[in-house]
Structure 1
């Protein structure tokens, strides 16, 4: 059992590395965040359908996997949450850059710590509140020195909150149903939701002909490796890991993503020393929180 947990933990790190590359792809793809996410989810749904056909995974919930209408609606709601998370995530990248967005995403573990007591038996502990105050102070410091990126920071924080919400919801589903089946319904519900966005005049639908060859290349990579594979794999590892462990490991996404952004995007990702000080404080607090929590569990 210990080996299973270790393998799943290492697998999760690989998935988080892929998510870090997702941010870079968001900067490389030229279209706005809403059509970008719509294409991402649609292509991923098609790939998951192919996977389920090959693996002979049923599309309907039956037998031991049968669920109520309420649970199906909850899964669809989770799909809407992840769609909105990705819209705000890529939106933050478009109006700022990868580094700013990923620094804000590192607050996800803090949001998880606040939200888990509301939806699970877990109780809020005093040191998480203290760490929360430190994180808020670090965010205020970054907001003061990087004023040109305020909108990107706000969108990044909203995205982190939605990501934490989704992780808590998905842990429950992952323990009861096949990962590919959950991913299929969540992504499909996201596609349906975003399709309604294009009925509004402020959201322009980008036709396939309007996409450049580079956009298609990055979208296929984004939808296949960074979505279809990573989505199913992340749901699978949640069978063995807690929501907090998942969210804590996910906080390495800024490290992986910022390094990749430097290598691929170059000077566009250069930030002031003040930004890195604030981001480092946030990351250190999150890691320290996980370390203390692990020590208390052992005792």
Structure 2
């Protein structure tokens, strides 16, 4: 018989791979759902909020937090909302592959933002990896100039993702990640609702979507958001941060492969794009390896 700890760890490893695969699949859903990005994310966070609330009620988990925590999570939710809207809008104006490669610059922004927010010094190897990624981004811009808007929106989405990721790395030290996720997603729903009331689009919302759109939205809100979030958090108890970071970085790889399988030639890019993408994704994978070696030294 195998060691129970190893079996548990291997099971969590499979769960994490499945979770990252689902994250990669969200880009496909973003491309096939016919409504605009703001509408799409509004439905997504509404369904995810209700799904997570049902999960907490069934598991009898207390949602009680302090007023300070509530405000922190709720305002961070506005950044989460911006990240998802920019991400799906980038897909709508370009392709899944272009958006996912631009989103990979999350690592670059984190290397810059984390030292600034946590008041630490920026390290030279961080700068080197950052420069490799900038070169890759430049190549993607140069060879896929027709998708300039999509690349810019993808980079802004990565910046927002990096910002709330850095904030969460501090918040998670004092709070349950599942609770943080619930209030941030609910916060995202609140802020998007506020925006939609302001631009009056919510006042004309008919909820008269096609069966296909409703099916994809339910899949996006439940499996790809609520379930994937809970699963992704739960495995972190037994897997090292290094392993989690390395596997999470497979998201653009899974997403690009899925996009090619689903959309074929529409997702075929120039050789320059793939060279740039290789530089960016390669740097993304190098980052956790370098971080682990630095922590061991």
TM normalised by structure 1 equals 0.88
Match of 1:60 in 2: 64
Pick aligned residue for 2:25 from 16, 21, 24? 21
CA displacement, residues 164-211 of structure 1 (integer Å, 9 cap, x when unaligned): 1222222333343334322221111111100112134485664311x1
Equivalent residues in 2 for 1:1-299 (5 A)?
A: 11-61=15-65, 67=66, 69-120=67-118, 123-201=121-199, 203=201, 206-209=205-208, 211-237=209-235, 249-299=247-297
Q: Is the 8 A contact 2:110 2:166 kept in 1?
A: yes
Distance 1:273 1:134 in 2: 18
CA displacement, residues 43-79 of structure 1 (integer Å, 9 cap, x when unaligned): 1111111111110112222xxxxx3x33221111221
User: Structure 2 regions of 5+ residues with no counterpart?
Assistant: none
Alpha-carbon distance, 1:14 to partner: 2.6
User: Structure 1 regions of 5+ residues with no counterpart?
Assistant: 62-66
Counting matched residue pairs gives 292
- Does the C-alpha gap of structure 1 residues 261 and 206 become closer, same or farther in structure 2, counting only changes over 3 Å? farther
CA displacement, residues 120-162 of structure 1 (integer Å, 9 cap, x when unaligned): 3654210110221221122112111211100000000011111
Distance 2:19 2:195 in 1: 29
Distance 1:83 1:239 in 2: 27
Distance 2:84 2:189 in 1: 12
Q: Is the 8 A contact 2:36 2:89 kept in 1?
A: yes
| Alignment RMSD | 2.5
Alpha-carbon distance, 1:247 to partner: 5.3
Distance 2:241 2:154 in 1: 20
- Does the C-alpha gap of structure 1 residues 20 and 27 become closer, same or farther in structure 2, counting only changes over 3 Å? same
